[in-house]
Amino acid sequence: MKSILFLALLFLAFVLFALKIVVSARAEPVSDAQIQRGQYLVNHVAMCGECHTPKTDQGEYDRTAWLQGDVLDYKPVRPMPFAAVAPAIAGLPSFATDEQAIKFLETGTNSLGKRAMPPMPQFRLSHDDAVAVVAYLRSLKR
């Protein structure tokens, strides 16, 4: 009798453990409101497209390649660290996890402890804003 009870408890512990793994593996669900907030921050406040969206010959955003990366049209007048290419950020292809991208936008430093080179600004977004920006960028197709 005792051993049946023991086995039952063991089984219960196993089920709870498995459930915990499943629950913690699931990413935080993203709401439409967060995506809307992220699109507002990216396209109307931080203006990420100034560097990360290619321009037409008229100097306007190429709407067919939104946030798909661009070679910058300018460079510094004196030598300094400078990245002439702003990579594609639609879909955030350079980050394996949302957490890494959120940390990058909160601290200006990526998961390898490296900063992006100028002219990429070192953003210090609040956590909620970083989550929203990542939700929006992930919602775009790569």
Nearer to ligand HEC, 9 or 93 (CB): 93
Least CB distance to ligand HEC at residue 116 (A): 4
Q: Tell me the C-alpha to C-alpha distance, in Å, between residue 80 and each of 77, 106, 119.
A: 9, 25, 10
| Window 32-91: residues binding ligand HEC (CB under 6 A) | 42, 46-48, 50-52, 83, 86-87, 89
Structural tokens at position 35? 């995506």
Residue count of the chain = 142
| Window 89-108: residues binding ligand HEC (CB under 6 A) | 89, 94
Helix (H, G, I), strand (E, B) or coil at 18: helix
Q: How many CB atoms lie within 10 A of CB 28?
A: 10
Nearer to ligand HEC, 14 or 121 (CB): 121
**Amino acid residing at 23:** V
Least CB distance to ligand HEC at residue 110 (A): 4
Nearer to ligand HEC, 29 or 81 (CB): 81
Nearer to ligand HEC, 76 or 121 (CB): 121
Q: How far apart are CA 90 and CA 140, in angstroms?
A: 5
Least CB distance to ligand HEC at residue 17 (A): 35
Tell whether the torsion through CA atoms of 73, 51, 67 and 138 is positive or negative. positive
Helices 98-107 and 127-139, axial angle in degrees (round to 10): 130
Interacting residues toward ligand HEC by CB under 6 A: 42, 46-48, 50-52, 83, 86-87, 89, 94, 110, 116-117, 119-121, 123, 133
